[in-house]
Amino acid sequence: MLGILGGSFGLYGYLPAAVNLLQEPVLLLRKYKPVIDSRQELFNFNDQIIWLETEEELIHTADSLVISRRPLDQEALVTKCLLQTNLKRIMFEKPLASSPENAQKILHQIDKSNKYCSVGFTFRYTNWAKNLKRIIFNEDFSKLDTLSLSWNFMADHFSRNTEGWKQDHAQGGGPIRFYGIHVIALLAEWGYDHVESSCVSTSNSKHSFYDWRACFKGPGLPTFFVNLDSKSNASNFKINLRNKELSLFEGVGPFDPFLKESNISVQDDRCIYLQDALEELFELTNHYPSRIERCIKLWQLVETGLLLKINS
């Protein structure tokens, strides 16, 4: 039986995905019930939830677990969960930890355990990512071409002028660690292993970055440019073939609902991709997918020699 720790994305993201995939009750903490009752798209799941009083009870009861909490909270929980004999499979929300160094330490702990673990990187399940992968690895595709990914949006913490971990690089937030990590994971999976350049922009403090620009290379792969602006008045997600100025994909965001091929009636467009991620978790025969380690290595390279640009 699967349990979920996390009262935000754990509920509106992972709960619908788990119920639709497993077709059995899910373990949740009773303190989450007001959230379930207050959200129309979640209320109907009440009959498929087993409520438990404490975190310890949930961890001791579940055989599989989703941990969808802040990176620092995941770091604090990982040792307890990996030592719990009844737990066999664990899904961590991204980023796995607050820094690539801490994420690598968690992988070492997982290696020593008898658990099967993964991280909720969902870009790989989208149609645009599958199509882009086919294009890149097509024999007719010129490796001399260059690709560019542009992702512009206004993050909630900027639009509401609030402070929190999602904008704090030191806590695992910001354009690289919270948003860009999705792109890093995808490129690492495809074989990109070199970072030509990486730069972030800030206007107030060294930990509150809003813009990230990078250039990636890999053996036999086209140069890949990334431009991510989390404080933009525009909302778009584009991938272009730069040499020919050809648009390969364009949408409002990476999870553009127009591309969703699912009958799942949920508010969050990411649920179908989380269902794919959970399905893979239950099929794992290794401690974790090898692409997770490649992601952390590329993440480390992204932040090695990171340039800081201060805008007035």
Query: Hey, what are 259's tokens?
Result: 């591309």
Name the CATH superfamily for 127-254+288-310: Dihydrodipicolinate Reductase; domain 2 (3.30.360.10)
DSSP character for 62? Answer: -
Cα 171 to Cα 70, 96, 183, 295, distances in angstroms: 8, 11, 19, 18
CA 193, CA 209: separation in Å to the nearest integer? 24
Phi, psi of 65 (to 5 degrees): -145, 135
Residues 112, 117, 118: CA angle, nearest 5 degrees: 135
- Is the domain covering 2-119 a CATH 3.40.50.720 domain? yes
Q: What are the sequence ranges of the domains in the chain?
A: 2-119, 127-254+288-310
| CA 76 to chain CA mean position, Å | 19
Phi, psi of 73 (to 5 degrees): -70, -35
Q: What is the pLDDT of residues 49-80, one digit of tens each?
A: 999 999 999 999 999 999 999 999 999 999 99
Letter for the amino acid at 18?
A
Mean pLDDT by 10 residues, the chain (312 residues): 97 96 97 95 94 98 98 97 97 98 98 96 97 92 89 93 90 97 98 98 80 96 97 96 85 76 61 97 98 98 93 70
Residue 90: name the closest of 72, 57, 55, 114 by CA. 114
CA 131, CA 240: separation in Å to the nearest integer? 13
pLDDT attached to residue 257: 63
| CA 75 to chain CA mean position, Å | 16
Query: Hey, what are 64's tokens?
Result: 């599989």
**Beta strands 194-202; 146-154: pairing state:** unpaired
CA 53, CA 66: separation in Å to the nearest integer? 17
Letter for the amino acid at 67?
I
pLDDT attached to residue 37: 94
pLDDT attached to residue 263: 46
Facing residues of 67 across strands? 5, 92
